Amino acid sequence: MYGNLFFLLFLSTHDHYLMLQKDDLQLHFFEFKNLVPAENYGQIYIRTTSIENLYNTFIENKVPIHPNGNLAEKPWGQKEFSILDPDSNLITFGEAMN
């Protein structure tokens, strides 16, 4: 999935740790062996300064947007959209509206 978003492998020198990069954004992943996926989920919030461009890139590359996560202005002053990764972790992208 992350390859569809044009992330490239940045560094992977340690087992069970991975870093991906796109422009000036890095994602870091690590293994959590004691986690039971059926009982836990993850959530990530990523701030950006170009939310509409990012959203359009996802749409153009057929990245599924969460059914309740289309790009929208929120009452808390952010413009946001959300996706689910293959393990059902919620990834929300946001930009301040001020």
pLDDT at 88: 76
pLDDT at 83: 92
pLDDT more than 70, % of the chain: 81
Give the Cα-Cα-Cα angle 83, 88, 36 (nearest 5 degrees). 150
Helix (H, G, I), strand (E, B) or coil at 50: coil
pLDDT at 32: 76
State the DSSP code for 65: B
C-alpha 1, offset from chain centre:
10
Q: What is the mean pLDDT of the chain?
A: 81
Phi, psi at residue 39, to the nearest 5°? -110, -5
pLDDT at 66: 92
Positions of CATH 3.10.180.10 in the chain: 32-98
Q: Where are the alpha helices (DSSP H) in the chain?
A: 51-60
Whether residue 27 is predicted with pLDDT greater than 80 in this model: the reply is: no
Q: Please write the tens of the pLDDT for every residue from 29-64.
A: 777 778 776 777 678 888 888 999 999 999 999 898
Contacts of residue 73, defined as CB under 8 A and 6 or more positions apart, other chains included, come to 79, 97
Pick the CATH number of 32-98 from 3.30.2290.10, 3.10.180.10, 2.40.10.220, 3.40.50.720: 3.10.180.10
